[in-house]
Amino acid sequence: MLDGLVLLGHSFAGFMAVKPILYTLGATLIGVLVGCMPGLSATLCIALLTTLTIKLPPNDAILILICAYVGTIYGGSRTAILLNIPGTAANAAACLDGYALAQKGQAGRAMGIATTGSVVGSLFGVICLALLTPTLGEVALSFGAFEFFWLALFGVLMSGSIAGTDPLKGWMMGLLGLFATLVGQDGIHAHDRFTLGWPELSGGITLIPALVGAFGFCEILTVLSEPMKKALVNSVDSVLPRIADVFKYWKTILRSGVIGVYVGILPGVGEDMAAWSSYAAARRASKEKELYGKGSIEGLMAAETGDNASIPGGIIPALALAIPGSAPSAVLMAAMIIHGVQPGPMLMVTHPQFVYDVVAMTTLATLGMLFYGLFLVRPLLAVIRIPRSIIMPVIFVLCTVGAFAIASRVFDIWLMLAIGIACFVLRKCNYPIAPFVLGLVLGDILDKSLRRGLQITNGDLTPFFTRPVSALLAAITLFTLAMYIPPVNRAVRGVWASALAAIRGILAK
């Protein structure tokens, strides 16, 4: 514990210099601006900034990426409140009450609430990040190939189940992502798989160009395939948060923070689910349920606290297990690997300082977010008024540079274009993109873990189901999957209802 505090102190001291503070302010600003532009996601922002910061020292680059991540999720609440369009998917829940408040002439108050919720949620998440990452890393040291196989499978399954409206299509996209990552030389024998004779594919489908295609070019095509609309922005009153609101809803804030971190830690479940879960829980427990959806301060606070708490929550498994909690944290993890830091159970052994550096970086990002939330609201709103017909072409040029810059290969631009077009067509057919990304990130772990596990046991599958942690993960994964089979679902619900009725009967006696 004391060692941890010393390392944390070192980390904070290391960032107390002019350059990191400038990076913090600059990157958070970029994040807020990107978040303000509907359609541009945190995943795309981090992927593009990864290429921009490729030549910077690792700590500077990761600081910039984390600040942009936090800034983007926060910035998305602006358009949710002012336009009823979530800037990022994570802010969809904020639309319900944020926009209703704006229509009542309280847009500034709503933004103040969003700022408060975001800052408090993020700080709560940071505390959990500092406390849970070393613990989880220590536990994960005992994990073997069997456990990592189930973790990777669970991540893809959860992402497929939750993203979009059709779990079947989500799982199919997860499978496609897992397959895509297997293209190229395999990680054990360096044997070419599905390269179709193209030497460029031997190195595999590079993550950053794939992500830029899936989240950048795909989004550009989606936006430009729809008629251009002009943004009508509501007027803004005072944006200063009211401390009374914080004290009044402290229970909601705490509950939403816990839910946000918990959902963030779950592999493959993103910030948007954290926001919706926090919102639903707050509504269930609220004394003013009738206000929800009509401009509830509590509802907006819950949604924004939940999504921002899930950011550090999503970083926890990325650092400790190399299993990211969400699509943006998957890109963040990839950026760490590019910069020579290998996340996973060994991170606390090889780079213990880095974990605390990430804690300090996330804290700085939160302070940057608070700064822009308090002082630069009106100038930042100008970005919402920039027409999409200008923003989207510029983003495409950045996507082209972003795809090329990681390895200086023109082939990566082709890859970005191909994946972007494929994802656009799939998206139009209601296939969610996030599970594809999780599949891309987790495919290598799943492939190696399954084959290593089978090699250790000489083909015996038993340890995958009998080792304690493995058995638990297998049970959760298979139960989650089984619940999507209607007869199984009906049977489980029936048994559950009978059990509850029996318990009530016993208690009544």
Partner 1 sequence: MEGEAPAEILPSARADFIGGLAWIAFGLAVGIGSWQMDRLERMGVSFFTAPGLVPGVLGVLMTACGVVLAVRSWRRGALGAAQLPPVLLRPEVLSRIGVTLLLCLGFALGLVGRMPFWAAAAAYLFLQIAVLQYSERKARDEVARGLLVAAVIALAAANAIALVFEKIFLVRLP
Among 52, 131, 136, 469, binds partner 1 (CB under 8 A): 52
Q: Which is nearer to partner 1, 92 or 322 (CB)?
A: 92
Q: Which is nearer to partner 1, 468 or 486 (CB)?
A: 486
Which region among 165-173, 346-354, 368-376, 473-481 touches partner 1 (by CB under 8 A)? 165-173
- Type of residue at 214: A
Nearest distance from residue 272's CB to partner 1, in Å? 6
Map the footprint of partner 1 across residues 402-421, applying CB under 8 A.
Answer: 404-405, 408, 410, 413-414, 416-417, 421
Nearest distance from residue 253's CB to partner 1, in Å? 24
Nearest distance from residue 399's CB to partner 1, in Å? 9
- Cα separation, 109 vs 435, in Å, equals 36
Which region among 111-119, 214-222, 258-266, 376-384 touches partner 1 (by CB under 8 A)? 214-222
Among 270, 345, 368, 373, binds partner 1 (CB under 8 A): 270
Backbone torsion region of residue 16, taken as left when φ is above 0, otherwise alpha when ψ lies between -120 and 50, otherwise beta: beta
What lies within 8 Å, CB to CB, of 444 at 6+ separation is 181, 187
Which region among 19-27, 266-274, 298-306, 488-496 touches partner 1 (by CB under 8 A)? 266-274
Among 21, 172, 281, 481, binds partner 1 (CB under 8 A): 172
* Residue 6: CA count within 13 A, CB half-sphere: 4
- Type of residue at 50: T
Burial 197-218 (b: 16+ CB within 10 A, else e): eeebbeebbbbbbbbbbbbbbb
DSSP 8-state symbol, 193? E
Nearest distance from residue 162's CB to partner 1, in Å? 7
What interhelical angle do 107-140 and 2-15 show, nearest 10? 130
Map the footprint of partner 1 across residues 363-402, applying CB under 8 A.
Answer: 387, 389-390, 392-394, 396-398, 400-401
**Nearest to 207, CA basis, from 377, 494, 403:** 403
Map the footprint of partner 1 across residues 70-89, applying CB under 8 A.
Answer: 86, 89
Other CB atoms within 10 Å distance of the CB of residue 17: 10
Q: Which is nearer to partner 1, 163 or 355 (CB)?
A: 163
Map the footprint of partner 1 across residues 448-477, applying CB under 8 A.
Answer: 450-452, 454-455, 458-459
Helix, strand or coil, per DSSP, at residue 192 = strand
- Cα separation, 271 vs 320, in Å, equals 19
Among 97, 147, 245, 272, binds partner 1 (CB under 8 A): 272
Nearest distance from residue 270's CB to partner 1, in Å? 4
Map the footprint of partner 1 across residues 91-150, applying CB under 8 A.
Answer: 92
With binding defined as CB under 8 A, does residue 171 bind partner 1?
A: yes
Helix, strand or coil, per DSSP, at residue 210 = helix
Among 13, 139, 168, 495, binds partner 1 (CB under 8 A): 168
**Nearest to 355, CA basis, from 122, 74, 136, 148:** 136
Q: Report yes or no: 336 and 62 within 8 Å, Cβ to Cβ.
A: yes
Q: Which is nearer to partner 1, 95 or 101 (CB)?
A: 95
- Cα separation, 12 vs 35, in Å, equals 27
Which region among 121-129, 180-188, 300-308, 471-479 touches partner 1 (by CB under 8 A)? 180-188
* Residue 227: CA count within 13 A, CB half-sphere: 2
Joined together, the tokens standing for residue 108 give: 């500034």
Which region among 190-198, 289-297, 315-323, 467-475 touches partner 1 (by CB under 8 A)? 190-198
Nearest distance from residue 394's CB to partner 1, in Å? 5
With binding defined as CB under 8 A, does residue 235 bind partner 1?
A: no
Q: Which is nearer to partner 1, 350 or 489 (CB)?
A: 489
Q: Report yes or no: 92 and 224 within 8 Å, Cβ to Cβ.
A: no
Among 327, 355, 361, 423, binds partner 1 (CB under 8 A): 327
Map the footprint of partner 1 across residues 334-353, applying CB under 8 A.
Answer: none
User: H-type helices in 382-433, by residue range?
Assistant: 388-405, 410-428
Other CB atoms within 10 Å distance of the CB of residue 425: 12
Among 2, 3, 18, 55, binds partner 1 (CB under 8 A): 55
- Cα separation, 242 vs 344, in Å, equals 41
